[in-house]
Structure 1
Protein backbone atom coordinates (compact mmCIF):
# COMPACT_ATOMS: atom_id res chain seq x y z
CA UNK A 1 0.00 0.00 0.00
CA UNK A 2 1.42 3.30 -1.06
CA UNK A 3 0.70 6.44 1.01
CA UNK A 4 0.75 9.65 -0.90
CA UNK A 5 2.77 12.59 0.33
CA UNK A 6 -0.34 14.75 0.93
CA UNK A 7 -1.99 12.04 3.10
CA UNK A 8 1.19 11.67 5.16
CA UNK A 9 1.44 15.44 5.67
CA UNK A 10 -2.23 15.55 6.74
CA UNK A 11 -1.70 12.75 9.29
CA UNK A 12 1.40 14.41 10.74
CA UNK A 13 -0.40 17.77 10.98
CA UNK A 14 -3.37 16.14 12.72
CA UNK A 15 -1.17 14.37 15.29
CA UNK A 16 0.81 17.57 15.93
CA UNK A 17 -2.42 19.50 16.48
CA UNK A 18 -3.61 16.92 19.02
CA UNK A 19 -0.34 17.03 20.95
CA UNK A 20 -0.26 20.82 21.06
CA UNK A 21 -3.94 21.24 21.97
CA UNK A 22 -3.97 18.86 24.94
CA UNK A 23 -2.18 21.06 27.49
CA UNK A 24 -4.16 24.14 26.49
CA UNK A 25 -7.51 22.45 26.94
CA UNK A 26 -6.68 20.76 30.25
CA UNK A 27 -8.64 22.14 33.20
CA UNK A 28 -6.97 21.74 36.58
CA UNK A 29 -9.07 23.66 39.09
CA UNK A 30 -7.03 24.60 42.15
CA UNK A 31 -7.56 26.99 45.05
CA UNK A 32 -4.69 29.47 44.87
CA UNK A 33 -5.56 31.24 48.13
CA UNK A 34 -8.27 30.95 50.78
CA UNK A 35 -8.73 32.96 53.99
CA UNK A 36 -11.37 33.07 56.70
CA UNK A 37 -12.43 35.88 59.01
CA UNK A 38 -15.33 36.88 61.25
CA UNK A 39 -17.28 40.00 60.23
CA UNK A 40 -18.56 42.71 62.58
CA UNK A 41 -21.95 40.94 62.59
CA UNK A 42 -20.36 37.61 63.57
CA UNK A 43 -20.65 35.98 60.15
CA UNK A 44 -17.97 33.65 58.81
CA UNK A 45 -16.47 35.17 55.65
CA UNK A 46 -14.32 32.98 53.40
CA UNK A 47 -12.52 34.81 50.59
CA UNK A 48 -10.94 32.72 47.85
CA UNK A 49 -9.09 32.74 44.56
CA UNK A 50 -9.51 29.62 42.41
CA UNK A 51 -7.62 29.19 39.15
CA UNK A 52 -7.40 26.69 36.31
CA UNK A 53 -11.13 26.85 35.62
CA UNK A 54 -13.09 26.60 32.43
CA UNK A 55 -15.42 29.38 31.38
CA UNK A 56 -18.96 29.77 32.74
CA UNK A 57 -20.50 29.72 36.21
CA UNK A 58 -18.75 27.80 38.99
CA UNK A 59 -20.84 26.63 41.98
CA UNK A 60 -19.48 26.66 45.54
CA UNK A 61 -20.62 25.50 48.97
CA UNK A 62 -19.26 26.57 52.34
CA UNK A 63 -19.82 24.56 55.53
CA UNK A 64 -18.52 25.00 59.08
CA UNK A 65 -19.24 24.03 62.66
CA UNK A 66 -20.13 27.03 64.80
CA UNK A 67 -20.28 27.85 68.49
CA UNK A 68 -21.86 31.15 69.51
CA UNK A 69 -22.32 32.69 72.94
CA UNK A 70 -25.24 35.08 73.34
CA UNK A 71 -25.64 37.29 76.40
CA UNK A 72 -28.04 39.83 77.84
CA UNK A 73 -26.84 43.41 78.28
CA UNK A 74 -28.59 45.90 80.57
CA UNK A 75 -29.34 49.55 79.80
CA UNK A 76 -25.93 50.59 81.15
CA UNK A 77 -24.17 48.38 78.60
CA UNK A 78 -23.11 45.82 81.21
CA UNK A 79 -23.58 42.09 81.38
CA UNK A 80 -25.16 41.24 84.73
CA UNK A 81 -23.33 38.37 86.41
CA UNK A 82 -26.48 36.28 86.45
CA UNK A 83 -26.65 33.18 84.31
CA UNK A 84 -28.30 35.02 81.45
CA UNK A 85 -26.07 33.82 78.67
CA UNK A 86 -26.52 30.96 76.25
CA UNK A 87 -24.07 28.88 74.22
CA UNK A 88 -25.40 27.41 70.97
CA UNK A 89 -23.71 24.97 68.61
CA UNK A 90 -24.54 23.93 65.08
CA UNK A 91 -23.54 23.91 61.45
CA UNK A 92 -23.67 26.92 59.18
CA UNK A 93 -23.56 26.80 55.40
CA UNK A 94 -23.78 28.95 52.31
CA UNK A 95 -23.79 28.45 48.57
CA UNK A 96 -23.00 30.68 45.64
CA UNK A 97 -22.37 30.68 41.92
CA UNK A 98 -19.72 32.91 40.37
CA UNK A 99 -18.70 33.52 36.78
CA UNK A 100 -15.22 32.40 35.83
CA UNK A 101 -13.24 35.14 34.11
CA UNK A 102 -10.19 34.01 32.17
CA UNK A 103 -10.28 30.70 34.07
CA UNK A 104 -10.34 32.35 37.49
CA UNK A 105 -12.85 33.12 40.25
CA UNK A 106 -12.09 35.62 43.02
CA UNK A 107 -15.02 35.86 45.43
CA UNK A 108 -16.22 35.33 48.99
CA UNK A 109 -19.02 33.46 50.73
CA UNK A 110 -20.55 34.30 54.11
CA UNK A 111 -22.41 32.07 56.56
CA UNK A 112 -23.82 32.49 60.05
CA UNK A 113 -23.81 33.39 62.78
CA UNK A 114 -25.89 30.60 64.23
CA UNK A 115 -29.16 31.82 65.76
CA UNK A 116 -29.74 32.28 69.49
CA UNK A 117 -32.81 30.10 69.09
CA UNK A 118 -35.41 30.53 71.81
CA UNK A 119 -33.03 32.30 74.21
CA UNK A 120 -34.43 35.68 75.24
CA UNK A 121 -33.50 38.39 77.71
CA UNK A 122 -35.58 39.75 80.59
CA UNK A 123 -37.19 43.17 80.31
CA UNK A 124 -34.79 46.11 80.17
CA UNK A 125 -32.00 43.99 78.64
CA UNK A 126 -31.03 43.31 75.04
CA UNK A 127 -29.62 40.21 73.39
CA UNK A 128 -26.10 40.47 71.92
CA UNK A 129 -23.66 38.09 70.30
CA UNK A 130 -20.78 37.92 72.79
CA UNK A 131 -18.48 35.59 70.85
CA UNK A 132 -18.45 33.19 67.94
CA UNK A 133 -16.08 30.56 66.61
CA UNK A 134 -15.98 28.51 63.43
CA UNK A 135 -14.15 25.20 62.99
CA UNK A 136 -14.07 22.42 60.38
CA UNK A 137 -14.44 25.03 57.64
CA UNK A 138 -14.67 23.49 54.15
CA UNK A 139 -15.05 25.33 50.85
CA UNK A 140 -16.08 23.14 47.90
CA UNK A 141 -16.13 23.86 44.18
CA UNK A 142 -19.04 21.54 43.34
CA UNK A 143 -18.66 22.15 39.60
CA UNK A 144 -15.14 20.71 39.45
CA UNK A 145 -15.17 18.50 42.57
CA UNK A 146 -12.39 20.41 44.36
CA UNK A 147 -12.44 21.31 48.05
CA UNK A 148 -10.17 22.92 50.60
CA UNK A 149 -10.12 22.96 54.41
CA UNK A 150 -9.65 26.34 56.06
CA UNK A 151 -8.22 27.06 59.52
CA UNK A 152 -10.77 27.88 62.19
CA UNK A 153 -11.47 31.46 63.25
CA UNK A 154 -13.06 33.13 66.27
CA UNK A 155 -13.99 36.58 67.50
CA UNK A 156 -15.01 37.96 70.89
CA UNK A 157 -17.29 40.99 70.95
CA UNK A 158 -17.95 41.08 74.70
CA UNK A 159 -16.26 39.29 77.60
CA UNK A 160 -18.92 37.46 79.62
Structure 2
Protein backbone atom coordinates (compact mmCIF):
# COMPACT_ATOMS: atom_id res chain seq x y z
CA UNK A 1 0.00 0.00 0.00
CA UNK A 2 2.82 2.40 0.87
CA UNK A 3 4.46 1.66 -2.46
CA UNK A 4 1.21 2.53 -4.33
CA UNK A 5 0.78 5.79 -2.41
CA UNK A 6 4.42 6.72 -2.95
CA UNK A 7 4.14 5.95 -6.69
CA UNK A 8 0.89 7.90 -6.97
CA UNK A 9 2.43 10.84 -5.06
CA UNK A 10 5.50 10.84 -7.30
CA UNK A 11 3.28 10.76 -10.39
CA UNK A 12 1.22 13.71 -9.15
CA UNK A 13 4.37 15.64 -8.28
CA UNK A 14 5.80 14.95 -11.74
CA UNK A 15 2.53 16.04 -13.36
CA UNK A 16 2.48 19.29 -11.34
CA UNK A 17 6.14 20.02 -12.14
CA UNK A 18 5.47 19.42 -15.83
CA UNK A 19 2.40 21.74 -16.03
CA UNK A 20 3.63 24.56 -13.76
CA UNK A 21 6.07 26.10 -16.30
CA UNK A 22 3.35 26.16 -18.97
CA UNK A 23 1.02 28.05 -16.64
CA UNK A 24 3.72 30.53 -15.72
CA UNK A 25 4.54 31.33 -19.35
CA UNK A 26 0.99 31.67 -20.62
CA UNK A 27 -1.15 32.46 -17.65
CA UNK A 28 -2.07 35.48 -15.62
CA UNK A 29 -0.11 38.37 -14.39
CA UNK A 30 2.72 38.51 -11.93
CA UNK A 31 2.96 41.73 -10.01
CA UNK A 32 1.56 44.50 -12.24
CA UNK A 33 2.97 47.92 -11.39
CA UNK A 34 3.97 51.17 -13.07
CA UNK A 35 7.75 51.45 -13.31
CA UNK A 36 7.67 55.07 -14.47
CA UNK A 37 5.15 57.72 -15.46
CA UNK A 38 6.68 60.70 -17.25
CA UNK A 39 4.30 63.48 -18.26
CA UNK A 40 5.41 66.30 -20.58
CA UNK A 41 3.75 69.13 -22.45
CA UNK A 42 3.78 69.10 -26.24
CA UNK A 43 2.06 72.20 -27.61
CA UNK A 44 -1.09 72.33 -25.48
CA UNK A 45 -1.27 68.55 -25.03
CA UNK A 46 -0.12 66.53 -22.03
CA UNK A 47 1.74 63.41 -23.17
CA UNK A 48 1.90 60.73 -20.48
CA UNK A 49 4.74 58.26 -21.17
CA UNK A 50 4.69 55.16 -18.99
CA UNK A 51 6.05 51.68 -18.43
CA UNK A 52 4.01 49.05 -16.69
CA UNK A 53 5.70 45.77 -15.76
CA UNK A 54 4.49 42.42 -14.47
CA UNK A 55 1.32 42.18 -16.56
CA UNK A 56 2.22 38.89 -18.27
CA UNK A 57 3.64 38.28 -21.73
CA UNK A 58 1.08 39.05 -24.43
CA UNK A 59 -1.55 40.19 -21.92
CA UNK A 60 -3.99 42.92 -22.96
CA UNK A 61 -4.36 45.79 -20.51
CA UNK A 62 -6.58 48.84 -20.72
CA UNK A 63 -4.79 51.94 -19.49
CA UNK A 64 -6.40 55.34 -19.08
CA UNK A 65 -5.18 58.68 -17.90
CA UNK A 66 -7.04 61.76 -16.74
CA UNK A 67 -6.11 65.29 -15.71
CA UNK A 68 -7.58 68.74 -15.24
CA UNK A 69 -6.85 71.36 -17.87
CA UNK A 70 -6.94 74.81 -16.20
CA UNK A 71 -6.92 77.79 -18.54
CA UNK A 72 -7.41 81.54 -18.50
CA UNK A 73 -9.03 83.37 -21.39
CA UNK A 74 -9.01 87.09 -21.96
CA UNK A 75 -10.30 89.65 -24.43
CA UNK A 76 -7.59 91.38 -26.48
CA UNK A 77 -8.26 94.47 -28.59
CA UNK A 78 -6.85 95.31 -32.02
CA UNK A 79 -3.83 97.02 -30.43
CA UNK A 80 -2.86 93.71 -28.74
CA UNK A 81 -3.86 95.12 -25.34
CA UNK A 82 -5.95 93.56 -22.62
CA UNK A 83 -8.23 96.53 -21.92
CA UNK A 84 -10.11 95.32 -18.85
CA UNK A 85 -9.02 92.94 -16.12
CA UNK A 86 -12.64 91.85 -15.77
CA UNK A 87 -12.43 90.40 -19.28
CA UNK A 88 -10.18 87.68 -17.96
CA UNK A 89 -11.79 84.45 -16.81
CA UNK A 90 -10.45 81.13 -15.52
CA UNK A 91 -11.89 77.78 -16.57
CA UNK A 92 -11.26 74.09 -15.86
CA UNK A 93 -11.99 71.02 -17.92
CA UNK A 94 -11.47 67.36 -17.06
CA UNK A 95 -9.84 65.49 -19.93
CA UNK A 96 -9.11 61.78 -20.36
CA UNK A 97 -7.70 59.24 -22.80
CA UNK A 98 -7.78 55.44 -22.81
CA UNK A 99 -6.36 52.63 -24.91
CA UNK A 100 -5.85 48.86 -24.78
CA UNK A 101 -2.24 47.73 -25.09
CA UNK A 102 -0.61 44.31 -25.54
CA UNK A 103 2.35 43.51 -23.28
CA UNK A 104 5.65 42.51 -24.87
CA UNK A 105 7.35 39.14 -24.31
CA UNK A 106 8.77 40.43 -21.03
CA UNK A 107 5.30 41.25 -19.70
CA UNK A 108 5.82 45.02 -20.04
CA UNK A 109 3.77 47.76 -21.64
CA UNK A 110 5.83 50.76 -22.73
CA UNK A 111 3.58 53.38 -24.31
CA UNK A 112 2.05 56.83 -24.01
CA UNK A 113 -1.37 58.44 -23.89
CA UNK A 114 -2.07 62.02 -24.94
CA UNK A 115 -4.52 64.37 -23.24
CA UNK A 116 -5.79 67.23 -25.38
CA UNK A 117 -7.48 70.44 -24.25
CA UNK A 118 -11.13 70.96 -25.15
CA UNK A 119 -11.44 71.70 -28.87
CA UNK A 120 -13.82 74.60 -28.27
CA UNK A 121 -11.95 76.24 -25.38
CA UNK A 122 -12.06 79.74 -26.94
CA UNK A 123 -15.87 79.57 -27.00
CA UNK A 124 -15.92 79.54 -23.17
CA UNK A 125 -15.60 83.36 -23.19
CA UNK A 126 -17.43 85.85 -25.40
CA UNK A 127 -15.61 89.12 -25.97
CA UNK A 128 -17.11 92.49 -26.89
CA UNK A 129 -17.10 93.60 -30.51
CA UNK A 130 -13.61 94.50 -31.75
CA UNK A 131 -11.89 92.20 -29.25
CA UNK A 132 -10.61 88.66 -29.73
CA UNK A 133 -10.85 85.81 -27.26
CA UNK A 134 -7.28 84.75 -26.45
CA UNK A 135 -5.75 81.99 -24.37
CA UNK A 136 -3.66 83.82 -21.75
CA UNK A 137 -2.36 80.83 -19.78
CA UNK A 138 -2.96 77.11 -19.33
CA UNK A 139 -1.71 74.20 -17.25
CA UNK A 140 -2.45 70.56 -16.46
CA UNK A 141 -2.97 69.30 -12.87
CA UNK A 142 -4.52 66.37 -10.95
CA UNK A 143 -2.98 63.72 -13.21
CA UNK A 144 -3.81 60.06 -12.66
CA UNK A 145 -3.13 56.89 -14.62
CA UNK A 146 -5.13 53.67 -14.26
CA UNK A 147 -4.68 50.10 -15.41
CA UNK A 148 -8.34 49.05 -15.37
CA UNK A 149 -7.48 45.43 -16.16
CA UNK A 150 -5.43 45.03 -12.97
CA UNK A 151 -7.20 47.68 -10.82
CA UNK A 152 -4.14 49.89 -10.34
CA UNK A 153 -4.35 53.69 -10.10
CA UNK A 154 -1.47 56.08 -9.53
CA UNK A 155 -1.92 59.79 -8.81
CA UNK A 156 0.94 61.86 -10.19
CA UNK A 157 1.55 65.14 -8.33
CA UNK A 158 2.60 68.23 -10.23
CA UNK A 159 1.60 71.04 -12.55
CA UNK A 160 2.57 71.06 -16.21
CA UNK A 161 2.43 74.54 -17.73
CA UNK A 162 1.51 75.14 -21.35
CA UNK A 163 3.83 77.77 -22.83
TM-score range with shorter-chain normalisation?
0.7 to 0.9
Moved more, 63-72 or 116-125: 116-125
Determine the C-alpha separation between the residues in 2 that align with 1:51 and 1:87.
39
Which residue of 135, 138, 142 maps to 2:144?
138
Is residue 2:157 matched to residue 1:148? no
Moved more, 48-57 or 7-16: 7-16
Aligned match of 2:95: 92
Task: Tell me the TM-score normalised to structure 1 length.
Answer: 0.77
Paired residues, number: 155
Root-mean-square deviation (CA), in Å? Answer: 2.8
SS at match of 1:121: coil
Greater helix percent: which structure? 2
Aligned match of 2:113: 109
CA contact (8 A) 2:76 2:83 kept: no
Determine the C-alpha separation between the residues in 1 that align with 2:124 and 2:13.
73
Task: Tell me the TM-score normalised to structure 2 length.
Answer: 0.75
The 1:118–1:16 alpha-carbon spacing in structure 2 relative to 1, beyond 3 Å, is: closer
Superposition deviation, residue 50 in structure 1: 0.7
Determine the C-alpha separation between the residues in 2 that align with 1:96 and 1:128.
32
Is residue 2:69 matched to residue 1:66? yes
Determine the C-alpha separation between the residues in 1 that align with 2:138 and 2:127.
19
Is residue 2:42 matched to residue 1:44? no
**Structure 1 unaligned regions, length at least 5:** none
CA contact (8 A) 2:75 2:82 kept: yes
**Structure 2 unaligned regions, length at least 5:** none
Deviation readout 1:106-145 (Å, 9 max, x if unpaired)? 1111223243443133455443322222222110010111
